[in-house]
């Protein structure tokens, strides 16, 4: 892509990854992604954030369309994850920057990633500013959003916040700004990104939003490291981050399951009927059809999680173990739940799932439900009642 001037003398100079689908090995980016780098041309020329190593040629081509890369004075590393710093070794050879600005933890992380103690690191901490000439850059460490090294850079003269991995979305597009694409799509992608990346750090997001309010930054543009730049819907995305990080559950349930001979699937449908009968909005997801990262946005705002698996080799099916492990790591808060499944002879899976949900701090509101082999009409009625019971628990907790 060619550079795009986002403010006077400030350019987007990243790379669009149209074909990416596997995002960081744990989630899917069904619409691809972008790696955003930002070039500020002032008395000092500064490049904020980079691209992965395999996109370095694209970055250099983009840079060369506006500047000779050797003219760059400062590299600012807001985040060490390899999709933003992977191009650093090559850039260091070409640019030979005067300084590489990064947070204290980022310096250690850069050394343990690239094994170069000799680079001209300049450690900056929260509240510190540097001058680029007409502009200043103020840094704010955002530890654990979502790595320990993460940092924001703010340019007050341009009201520009370069927000690293916060406020990102995975979307490959020819557009660069939030008002140039469909709003529903954009916020849905931002929710997916939050649910899969930032959810465990919700309390820190809340603190960060407070902190940004306290420091009184006047922001009219938020430039994240993935996806589109926010310039028209800043109050909206900030409000969404406040909402998502508050983790206030809605009158919704997610039923996810795997199945062998369709008995557990029939149970899942009947459980779903019971939940719907109580007025809930329900998302029914076969884990053969839905990737775990596609389930998480629904879990994020649901009050109830209902999980089902038949018993296989005295345990749950592998896709359930995958989903539950992934979900537990993302630490969803304030959920209720229950487990179900069909079985042939021993039938351990529902109890195992229930115990796992409990270990993930999900409050269990119904005993695990088991049906032998193939459900009868009476069994399916019991499944429906099981769903209704969970639905009533949701209604008791979430006012209509």
Partner 1 sequence: MRYVCSICGYVYDPAEGDPENNIAAGTSFDDVPADWACPVCGASKDNFEPES
Per CB under 8 A, 206 contacts partner 1: no
Rounded to a whole number of angstroms, the minimum distance from the CB of residue 212 to partner 1 is 16
Distance from chain centroid for Cα 101: 25
Rounded to a whole number of angstroms, the minimum distance from the CB of residue 330 to partner 1 is 13
Segment interacting with partner 1 (CB under 8 A) among 33-41, 116-124, 132-140, 143-151: 143-151
Number of residues that bind partner 1 (CB under 8 A): 8
Q: Decide: residue 195, CB within 10 A, 0-12 exposed, 13-18 middle, 19+ buried.
A: buried
Please tell me the distance from the alpha carbon of residue 368 to that of residue 358, in angstroms, as a whole number.
12
Per CB under 8 A, 204 contacts partner 1: yes
Q: Which of 82, 89, 148, 347 binds partner 1 (CB under 8 A)?
A: 148
Cα separation values, 183 from 160, 198, 228, 296, 300, Å = 21, 21, 11, 20, 20
Three-state SS for 254? strand
Active site residues: 24, 79, 81, 83, 146, 165, 193, 226
Three-state SS for 312? strand
DSSP label at 362? P
Nearer to partner 1, 201 or 298 (CB): 201
Q: Which of 32, 82, 156, 203 binds partner 1 (CB under 8 A)?
A: 203
Segment interacting with partner 1 (CB under 8 A) among 142-150, 157-165, 187-195, 334-342: 142-150
Rounded to a whole number of angstroms, the minimum distance from the CB of residue 59 to partner 1 is 30
Cα separation values, 217 from 15, 106, 113, 139, 389, Å = 28, 24, 33, 12, 48
Rounded to a whole number of angstroms, the minimum distance from the CB of residue 218 to partner 1 is 25
Going residue by residue from 67 to 106, which x/- string records binding to partner 1, judged by CB under 8 A?
Answer: --------------------------------------x-
- Outline where the chain has alpha helix (H): 56-64, 82-85, 88-95, 104-114, 183-193, 202-215, 234-246, 263-277, 292-301, 318-329, 349-359, 377-397
Q: Which of 1, 144, 260, 364 binds partner 1 (CB under 8 A)?
A: 144
Residue 174 has a CB neighbour count (10 Å cut-off) of: 9
Nearer to partner 1, 57 or 210 (CB): 210
Residues at the contact surface with partner 1, assessed by CB under 8 A: 105, 143-144, 148, 201, 203-204, 361
């Amino acid at each position: 892509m060619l550079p795009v001037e986002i403010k006077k003398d400030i350019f987007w100079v990243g790379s669009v990854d149209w074909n990416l689908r596997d995002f960081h090995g744990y989630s899917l980016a069904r619409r691809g992604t972008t790696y955003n780098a930002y070039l500020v041309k002032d008395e000092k020329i500064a490049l904020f954030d980079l691209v992965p190593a395999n996109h370095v040629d694209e970055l250099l081509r983009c840079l060369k369309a506006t500047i000779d890369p050797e003219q760059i004075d400062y590299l600012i590393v807001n985040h060490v994850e390899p999709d933003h710093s992977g191009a650093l070794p090559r850039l260091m050879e070409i640019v030979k920057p005067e300084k590489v600005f990064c947070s204290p933890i980022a310096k250690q992380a850069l050394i343990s990633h690239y094994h170069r103690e000799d680079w001209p690191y300049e450690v900056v901490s929260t509240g510190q500013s540097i001058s680029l000439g007409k502009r200043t850059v103020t840094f704010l460490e955002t530890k654990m959003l979502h790595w320990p090294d993460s940092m924001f850079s703010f340019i007050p003269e341009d009201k520009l916040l370069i927000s690293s991995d916060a406020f990102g979305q995975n979307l490959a597009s020819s557009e660069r700004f939030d008002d140039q694409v469909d709003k529903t799509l954009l916020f849905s992608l931002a929710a997916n990104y939050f649910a899969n990346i930032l959810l465990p750090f919700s309390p820190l997001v809340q603190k960060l939003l407070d902190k940004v309010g306290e420091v009184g930054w006047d922001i009219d543009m938020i430039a994240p490291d993935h996806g589109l730049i926010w310039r028209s819907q800043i109050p909206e995305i900030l409000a969404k981050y406040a909402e998502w990080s508050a983790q206030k559950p809605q009158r919704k349930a997610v039923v996810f399951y795997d199945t062998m001979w369709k008995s557990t699937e029939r149970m899942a449908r009947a459980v779903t009927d019971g939940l719907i009968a109580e007025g809930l909005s329900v998302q029914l997801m076969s884990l053969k059809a839905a990737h775990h990262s596609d389930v998480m946005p629904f879990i994020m705002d649901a009050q109830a999680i209902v999980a089902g698996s038949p018993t296989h080799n005295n345990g749950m099916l592998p896709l359930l173990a995958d989903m539950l492990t992934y979900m537990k790591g993302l630490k969803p808060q304030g959920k209720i739940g229950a487990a179900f499944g069909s079985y042939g002879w021993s039938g351990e899976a529902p109890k195992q799932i229930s115990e796992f949900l409990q270990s993930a701090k999900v409050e269990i509101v119904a005993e695990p439900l088991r049906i032998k082999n193939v459900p009868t009409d009476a069994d399916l009625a019991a499944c429906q009642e099981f769903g209704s019971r969970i639905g009533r628990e949701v209604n008791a907790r979430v006012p209509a």
